[in-house]
Structure 1
Amino acid sequence: MNKEQSHQEAVKIYKALGEPTRLNIVKLLCKHDELSCSQIEEQLNYKGSTLSHHLKQLVECGVLRLARKEGTYHFYRVNQDTLDRHVVLQPD
């Protein structure tokens, strides 16, 4: 990845994390190995369609990845490589 591509990737990531809902999702997942959509929904009190939209944005910019599917459940985890390259999150 060249310098320009790295810069563009960082812009996408910071834009995604600039939305408080998405930042809360990432902070929650940083505290856990992986969580299902329903676990995230329960802990942060977000509705399904809203949560799905934000998870999609975070996956598209590379901050999260789909860890696995188990039946109808989707489990997400932080893509630590992406965060290590571009982001410093302070614990709560």
Structure 2
Amino acid sequence: MNEQADMQQAVKVYKALGEPTRLKIALLLQEESDQCCSVLGDKLKSVAISTLSHHLKQMAESGLLTSRKEGTFIYYSLDREVAEKYASYLLK
């Protein structure tokens, strides 16, 4: 990855983590990966599923999350390589 692309991804990751709910999501996924939206919603309690879906989409677009689809569910995990490079705080 060239320096410019690296900087652009860093900005996306930091923007994604700059919102408190998204930071909580990242921390939850660091503890236990492969979670679907409804499970994350149960753990976060006060976040509507539609809002949570938006947050997850933003995080996935930043490269911070990986996802896999199983039936109608999408399971999310923290991309540890990206987290290690840009946000090592998440891995403590």
With normalisation by structure 1, the TM-score equals 0.90
Match of 1:85 in 2: 85
Which consecutive residues of structure 1, in runs of 5 or more, have no partner in the other structure? Answer: none
Q: Deviations along 1:14-71, whole A, 9 cap, x unmatched?
A: 01100001001000000002111110000001211000100000000000111x2222
Letter of the 1:89 partner, please give it: Y
Q: State the Cα distance separating 1:91 from its structure 2 match.
A: 6.7
Measure, in 2, the Cα distance between the counterparts of 1:10 and 1:90.
Answer: 15
Alpha-carbon offset, residue 90 of structure 1 = 5.1
Q: Cα RMSD (Å) of the superposition? A: 1.5
TM-score (norm 2): 0.90
CA contact (8 A) 2:26 2:90 kept: no
Distance 1:33 1:60 in 2: 18
Aligned residue pairs: how many? 91
Could you tell me the percent identity over the aligned residues? 44
Larger helix fraction of residues: 2
Displacement, 1:81? 1.2
Any residues of structure 2 matched to 1:44-83 within 5 Å, and which? 44-45=44-45, 46-66=47-67, 68-83=68-83
Moved over 6 A (4+): none
